[in-house]
A and B are shown apart, each in its own frame.
Chain A
Amino acid sequence: MIALATPAVVIPTFGGSPSSYACERANRLFCANWVSRNWSSVLWPALRQHIVLSVVAVAIGFAIAFALALVAHRRRAVERPVILISGVLYTIPSLALFEILVPFRPLGLSARTAEVALVSYTLLILFRNILTGLRDVPDDVREAAAGMGMTARQTLWRVELPLALPSIIAGVRIATVTVIALATVASYICDEGLGVPILAAIQDGVFKTELITAGGLAVALALCADGLLVLLQRALTPWSRAQAR
């Protein structure tokens, strides 16, 4: 479903001198003037909403996956059902999941529905990576911690989690990039994110400048987020680079 109420923003009403909108009227591949004119009214709000949608989804997803992974770390029986359920959720195509969630009463056509779907896509990735990171801590390290008199809780927070950080952040990277990609599709059910200008441009007779700008922003956002998380990982785990040398 298309929740686009504002097609007016796209192709300007061709007032002014004939030359000032020549590029838009010819629908050339890229009109820099259009971008600068519509940045603050169309593109920046969409980009900001996109960032908020993605950050909230990853944060909630991480909280849920982290709690589940800690439980599964202690009780192996929990792992299988969690993987199976989150695996099925991960398999359902994004647009279909968005639409399926719409009829449920508290959700409807809103950003909340989008968040629920986006969170469900992060669960499998985050849960697996957190759990794998915790499991891969060598047993002798754990025994050493116990030998030093650490409790199970101390071992978890001071030994196991720091050692699992590379795997955890790798999961956060994949989840973030996936969510940024899927959030473009959220525009089918709510008026938020970079998908909004994309759908508007297609409805308005394939307005090329807007398609390329909004699409390019989505790609750039994903790549930037990925790069930032790599830097974060390097900052948090300086020892892993020291070992690699």
Chain B
Amino acid sequence: MHTLIEALRFIGHNGALPSDPAAPTLVHLTLQMLAISGVGIAISLAVGLPLGAWLGHLHRFSFAAINVSNFGRALPSLAVLAIGDAILGLGLTVTEVALVILAAPIVLTNAYVGISGVDPEIVDAARGMGMSGWRILWRIEVPLAIPLLFAGIRTAAVYVVATATIASLAGYNGGLGYIISDEQSYHLSGVLGAAICVAGLALLVEGVLALVQRSLTPHGVRLEQDVRGEEDLDALLPVTSASPL
């Protein structure tokens, strides 16, 4: 318990280290980590969303699109970083590559399942009104798939924040992992303080994305969810693919 109080005091002092006045502040390291994670999430979205949405629109390659995230989930992040370090050498590049390898499949699968799961009668009605494929995708399928799209984005974002913490030891010397991997100078209380910041950051990212999701969800979809009493609870987890393999 004593350590916990020390850790909170460490956070209160903004990560100051008596033995090293030049040590980076907690705010600085947190922002740095946010930047590393932001780049990783942005690349994952740029790869996963268009590909997943496009395949979902065409209803093609469902087996691959659904199972790529199972495969991504099976890859231990520390193992990916280890293999990446061996092949590419230590550094920020390996970190970002590992983040994208872990996050992009989750985004892709959820985008695929969300878009391909839109009621075919609604899509037929839109086609009957003379909408082109692009317009159907953008005006009909994407808005209706928002809950699942965001389930993927939120999970991926949390994965990325978690992995960015480990990454600092296995390659990149920055972010909050800088403190966590240096117990000798920061002691248990400092490490614990940084860990609390990481947990807070993950919950914050998740919360902000939940708010974005709420504002982007079309009114009709929200009404439907309220009637079924599901709300956001179901969007907490990505698709737990029940399909055998």
B93 to chain A, nearest CB (A): 14
Within 8 A of B (CB), among A76-127: 80, 83, 87-88, 90-100, 102-103, 105, 124-125
Asked if A190 CB lies within 8 Å of chain B CBs, one says no
Range, interface on chain B: 35 or more
Asked if B51 CB lies within 8 Å of chain A CBs, one says no
Please tell me which one of the listed residues B74, B79, B89, B161 contacts residue A206 in the complex, with CB atoms under 8 A apart. Answer: B89
Give the size of the chain A interface in residues (CB under 8 angstroms): 64
Asked if B162 CB lies within 8 Å of chain A CBs, one says yes
Q: Is there an interface contact between B165 and A219, defined as CB atoms closer than 8 Å?
A: no
Q: Is there an interface contact between A92 and B241, defined as CB atoms closer than 8 Å?
A: no
Report the number of A-B residue pairs with Cβ-Cβ less than 8 Å.
169
B86 to chain A, nearest CB (A): 4
A91 to B70, CA, bound (A): 18
Specify which chain B residues have a CB less than 8 angstroms from the CB of A202 in the assembled complex.
Answer: 82, 85, 169-170
Of A95, A124, A209, most buried by chain B (CB within 10 Å of CB) is A95
Q: Which residue of B lies closest to A225 (CB)?
A: B74
Please tell me which one of the listed residues B169, B202, B237 contacts residue A125 in the complex, with CB atoms under 8 A apart. Answer: B237
Within 8 A of A (CB), among B59-84: 70-71, 73-83
Asked if A11 CB lies within 8 Å of chain B CBs, one says no
> Which residues of A does B touch, CB under 8 Å?
1-2, 29, 80, 83, 87-88, 90-100, 102-103, 105, 124-125, 128-129, 166-167, 170-171, 174, 177-178, 180-185, 187-188, 194-195, 198-199, 201-202, 206, 208-209, 211-212, 214-216, 218-219, 222-223, 226, 230, 233-234, 240-241
> Which residues of B does A touch, CB under 8 Å?
1-4, 7, 70-71, 73-83, 85-87, 89-90, 158, 161-163, 165-166, 169-170, 177, 180-181, 183, 188, 191-192, 194-196, 198-199, 202-203, 206, 233, 236-237, 240-242, 244-245
